[in-house]
Amino acid sequence: MKKIFGILIVSLTLFVSCSDELLEPFTPGSLTEEVAVTKSSDLVNLVNSSMNILTNRADYVFSSIFTDEAAPGSQNGGQGITTDYVFLMNVSNGSAAAIWQSQYFALARINRVITFADKVVATSPANQQLINRSKAEALVLRALAHIKILSYFSPNPKDGAALAGVLADRIILTTEKPQRTTNADFYALIHADLDAAIGIFNANTATAYSNKTYYPSKALAQALKARAYALKGDYPNAEIFANTVITTSGITLANTQAQYDAVFHTHNEPVNTEVIFRLRRTVQQNAQGTNLNNGWVSIANRRNGSPFYEVSRSLYNKLTAVSGDYRLNTTVFLNGTSSSLIDPNYTTSADVRNTDIIVLQKHGGQSAVTATNGFNPDFMVSRLSEMYFIRAEARAAAGDLVGVGTNLKAILDARFPTAQLAPVFANPQAAWKGILDERRKELSFEGFRFIDLKRIGTLAGASLERDASEYASSAWSFPAANPSNLPLSSFKFTLPIPQVEVNGNADIQQNDGY
């Protein structure tokens, strides 16, 4: 932590916004923060810069590869198959380090917005509203970052006494060596921040954004409260806030193939459809090292686009189990030049690597090509479907199996061309498994699967569901034993505090098993 915040204090002069605009430049170290942050535009640029830092694909990619969403692709040249895919997890794991660092890098700037919003002198009543809104946005982003840290690095998010991460509720000085604090402390800050943000949004009169899904909002604050309560296992409160978003946000589910495709492939879905919040990427930021789609392919979302990871066979089989599911065509590239190869005899294929190639296209569709000023997919952070899933979980926790089916039906009706029968469950475990399976199909490659297995997998009696074809073949040269499974009881479902953090703060507590 000492190292991370030291880097960011030096780099504070950049203030890079999502549109690559800069504040008035100055030499690093020549001005204090009190002089550098003096007007509302400085706060706006800091918020934008924080969101830019949060567009780190590490958890989206890691969650898919470590679990059962992705499988090694036809063009895999060794990416991940000796680390995340075979469950190699230690203090030097690059994914764990990237997830930790991106949150705390962003938090260093977010905390400066929250601190200086109360010090910047407004030039007019309207300008004060801009300042207030920037503070509210920063509070929501701070809660979002703390939820992610708690999700990945706490051994048990439902235990208030378990350790989470370092609580970044203020600007942390480079001379400090902060310790990890409890989940209870994290949840207290998360909900205090979100409540404060909601209060500001309720009173704010700043001119509305032309595209509100690019910015933290009241609806996002409410959705994050629902997510945090569900993570804690506090389902009565989770249901209250999930229901509030569903009934008052004005957002509706995408309910046609075209609308659902647009959410992920073009980002031009109808107004108030599906998306609560996305992290925006611009064409100027289009680069192989940071693009979301390039987390799984080298060039493009197609068979000749060098896919080093593909949609797993087990996920594909679930998406094809019922004909007409919009999510299949959105997630998998099935029609067009160099589309997927689907081998009906994949279980007996002598060369499954080259006969069964299931190409991912969820992020960016066919427009996502690694090229200068090319299309650059946004990062989905919160969608309305998640709120229906949280309501379904709340019904399962309450023993209302019919209510679980009713909430899942709402999503299924929007994902098929005709109304679907409500799922029926014989017992609570079956209901939890039904929720987990639907979340897997709906939220695939959006960074949820690892956390979903961790928090409700045991309730569902579930485990990883990799297909034998994805690991039994010698085509990918897996080291040692083939990586077929990992029990949910494994300590590896809690990520280690990264070695880079331990190097800068030797007193920080490491998780068990590392």
The pLDDT score that the predictor gives to residue 412 is 98
The pLDDT score that the predictor gives to residue 5 is 41
| Any domain includes 22 | no
Mean pLDDT value across residues 28-52: 80
The 10s digit of each residue's pLDDT in 166-198 is 999 999 887 888 999 999 999 999 999 999 999
DSSP-based three-state secondary structure for 143: helix
Mean pLDDT value across residues 87-93: 95
| Any domain includes 381 | yes
Number of domains in the chain: 1
The pLDDT score that the predictor gives to residue 33 is 65
| Any domain includes 5 | no
The pLDDT score that the predictor gives to residue 161 is 98
The pLDDT score that the predictor gives to residue 513 is 96
Give CA–CA dist 168/163, Å, rounded. Answer: 14
| Any domain includes 184 | yes
The pLDDT score that the predictor gives to residue 468 is 86
The pLDDT score that the predictor gives to residue 477 is 74
The 10s digit of each residue's pLDDT in 454-496 is 999 999 999 999 998 887 666 777 765 556 789 999 999 999 9
| Any domain includes 193 | yes
The 10s digit of each residue's pLDDT in 139-175 is 999 999 999 999 999 999 999 999 999 999 999 887 8
The 10s digit of each residue's pLDDT in 336-362 is 999 999 999 999 998 999 999 999 999
Closest CA to 68 of 266, 311, 273, 325: 311
The pLDDT score that the predictor gives to residue 26 is 31
| Any domain includes 188 | yes
Confidence band of 370 (pLDDT split at 50, 70, 90): confident
Which domain, by its residues, includes 135? 37-482
pLDDT value at 250 more than 70 = yes
| Any domain includes 296 | yes
3-state secondary structure 312-376: CHHHHHHHCCCCCCHHHHHHECCCCCCCCECCCCHHHCCCHHHHCECCECCCCHHHCECCCCCCC
Mean pLDDT value across residues 506-514: 95
DSSP-based three-state secondary structure for 275: strand
Q: For residue 245, what is the domain's CATH number?
A: 1.25.40.390
Give CA–CA dist 153/131, Å, rounded. Answer: 33
